[in-house]
Amino acid sequence: MPDLWDKKYKCPVCGASVGTKKVFTGKVRIKSYEADLKPVYEGINPLLYSVIVCESCYYSALESDFETQISPIFREEIRKVQDEIKIPEMVSFSQERDHKVAIIAYALASLFYKVKNQPCRTAEMYLRMGWLYREINDEDNENKALAKALSNFEECYLNTYVESDKEPMILFYLAELSRRFGKREDAMRWFSTLVSKYKSATSFYVKAGKERWQELREK
Ligand SMILES: [Zn+2]
């Protein structure tokens, strides 16, 4: 049985039909999680396919909001971003993807989320981009991507409305990425907010956050 199947979407910017590969849910196997909760997959890596890219106009977004209509107030800015995009001709987003192609897809999506004023999503794009760089052992670019993830998570948390089901994840990454970049005070503060605000929550992020906070306090 194959790992991938073909799906079509309609681009909300240019109206083109967008073909993309999707991973069969039953094929996704998580072997383990790294310290920052990055999943380690066995076999097919679904991180390579989460962003849909329109090959006609390069508009890109996560599958869950790709077809969402775009407010007219962002149209002009989106056009400006599109004018700046230069993609090597041999890159295809609709076929099987390697890390290089997927990283370009996340970079594109981060530009559009930025324009649409969605720093939380922008942060998630940079986080996953960092993870893909880690998988190909490019530490320099991993650090650059994760630093951008942190500044966007900060903007997201401090300046936008955060839904409560997303808040533990965001607090976890604010803390974990601050720790990574040597901002111990910030890390302690974010872990403490996470753990005290979500004391009884069974969230994966709260559980991991408690452990990381404990480790940090003992150092
Ligand atoms: Zn398009």
Question: Which band of pLDDT confidence, cut at 50, 70 and 90, is reported for residue 135?
Answer: very high
Which contacts qualify for 160-164: CB closer than 8 Å, 24 or more apart?
160/118, 160/119, 160/120, 162/120
Q: Using the mean position of ligand 1's atoms as its centre, give its distance from the Cα of residue 202 in Å.
A: 40
Q: Using the mean position of ligand 1's atoms as its centre, give its distance from the Cα of residue 10 in Å.
A: 8
Domain ranges in the chain?
A: 4-160, 162-219
- H/E stretch holding 83 reads helix 72-84
Per-residue pLDDT averaged across 141-152, rounded? 98
Is residue 1 predicted with pLDDT exceeding 80?
Answer: no
Q: Using the mean position of ligand 1's atoms as its centre, give its distance from the Cα of residue 146 in Å.
A: 28
Q: Using the mean position of ligand 1's atoms as its centre, give its distance from the Cα of residue 18 in Å.
A: 8
Give the pTM: 0.95
Per-residue pLDDT averaged across 136-141, rounded? 98
Q: Using the mean position of ligand 1's atoms as its centre, give its distance from the Cα of residue 59 in Å.
A: 5
**pLDDT value of residue 206:** 95
pLDDT tens track for 12-42: 999 999 999 999 999 999 999 999 999 999 9
